[in-house]
């Protein structure tokens, strides 16, 4: 499972994306410092708060990761 730290307004948020295979298949390449837009929902866990991504955009590339109920598309 790929996770990333996203900086928004001076606050860092841990974001759970998807398995590596799905991101490779979608040809979404993420590098440190990239500007992305993430849509998702927050969950609380033992390791703190986490944003579970339902969609990620980088430039004009859009990848849907979960359906409207939050279920993975993979």
12-49 tens-digit pLDDT? 999 999 999 999 999 999 999 999 999 999 999 777 78
Q: What confidence score (pLDDT) does residue 31 get?
A: 93
Flag whether 28 is in a domain: yes
- Domain span at residue 28 reads 3-64
Flag whether 35 is in a domain: yes
Flag whether 73 is in a domain: no
Q: What confidence score (pLDDT) does residue 47 get?
A: 74
Q: 48-51: long-range contacts (C-beta < 8 A, 24 or more apart)?
A: 48/14, 49/13, 49/14, 50/14, 50/15, 50/16, 51/6, 51/13, 51/14, 51/15, 51/16
Contact 71, 36 (CB under 8 A): no
Flag whether 74 is in a domain: no
Flag whether 38 is in a domain: yes
pTM: 0.88
Flag whether 69 is in a domain: no
């Amino acid at each position: 499972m790929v996770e990333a730290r996203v900086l928004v307004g001076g606050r860092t948020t841990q974001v759970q994306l998807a398995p590596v295979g799905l991101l490779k298949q979608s040809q979404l390449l993420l590098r440190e410092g990239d500007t992305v837009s993430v849509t998702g929902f927050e969950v609380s866990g033992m390791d703190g708060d986490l944003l579970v991504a339902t969609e990620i955009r980088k430039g004009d590339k859009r990848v849907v990761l979960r359906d409207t109920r939050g279920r993975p598309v993979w």
